[in-house]
Structure 1
Amino acid sequence: MTTEKNNSYEEQHHRMADMNSIVQKIKQTLLSDGMDTTEVDEAFAEAKLNDLTILTDLYGTFREGFVNDNDANLENLKKYSVPEGVVDFYRNFEPNSLPPLSGGVVLLGLEAIKGENSTASPSMYLLKHGLLTFATTIGGHVIGMDLKDMQNNEPRVVIADYSFCSYNEDLQVVECVHVPDEVANYYSDDEPIVLSYDVIKECLPQVAASFSTFLIKLADEEFENIEREYLVG
């Protein structure tokens, strides 16, 4: 084995050890909350190989599921990739019918990620701009990894109100309708706030600087009520 391959193996092993400790901490909390031991053991499982393509081939996975595709944003999916460290998490610890965790966060399994990002608003619109929803909240809001904003090869994590944007049939654009006042004030009353990555950056609160940091916060139960803490009232 070459030095480069050996280093890669060691890095992957270290990553998995860290993820394993995070998952074990979440499992311990589930047990403390009264969840059945068998259910806890099944709460995270190795993903099916075919299901991993949901993360490794975004364009191939989602190109058939979109409606209202009158723009070129769908092609942007070819530019985005989920980092290997994130894929590793799902490869080894795919969430499986988990109850809400710290702060009311619900981690989605791979098939649920596919369904959410294919047909649900606002996820299906955010995906075209590089945000992949991987969790939801009790109130139906969405939490996504920003594949356009990486630190140390990990995406930052943001939250979006379920009513953040929707398709405007009259104007044939995806319009942002639930935005902070400081953003809305830049636009006239009759001017639509068309969804773009710049608008996303201005509007969506960051809840963690990286995917692994988000999982650590979940495991450490740092979120009390993620909706109340981060979303516009």
Structure 2
Amino acid sequence: EKKCVHKTVFPLEIMEFFGSIVLGIMIALSNAGGVGGGGIIVPITIIFFAFSTKESVALSNFCIFAAALVRFLINFRDKHPYKKATTIDYGIVMVMFPMVLLGSALGVQINVILPDAIVLISLTLVLIFLSVESTIESIKIRRKENQIIAEKKKEQAKEVISMEVLNENNSHEVHEDHGIAKQTEHEENRKSDEEEKKEIEPNPATPNQSC
């Protein structure tokens, strides 16, 4: 009985070459965003590498494991910015880990039992749900950021207005001081002129007194 099997790795076809590049970029972006990227790896391996759905899921699991291991080795010593602890909360890990193992084992068994079409439809529905939720959350975050930016701009505008008012008051004070200084100088000049005139004018002759 003949069975269809996937081709060997080499030689790479053009679609596989571009698929490798796209896969590397998408995994990098997924890890930068803190997600495993399984929902992205499965469609990429189906489209570019012509794997079946179950084969793509298996490859996705391995890629997620490798990416998670690398992230853990890089981040497990990082300190928490606000408390004396690591960024990984191992207490929460101990609570979550049993359910993670149970869910993973159950998912593997479901993947083996269900046909490829059902698995693909389930994956599509999950991705649509996650995309909608992520879009709504991103809109909320964007609105909050715009509100914060608007408040900062208002504060900056108030500071600019207060600085302009302060500069205007200072300029008025400078003009007033300059006017007072000019007036004082004018009075001093007038007094000095009067004193000079008094010194220049001859004293009136005193009459001769007879003895």
TM-score normalized by structure 2?
0.24
Hey, which of these two has a bigger chunk of strand by percent? 1
Hey, which of these two has a bigger chunk of helix by percent? 2
TM-score normalized by structure 1?
0.22
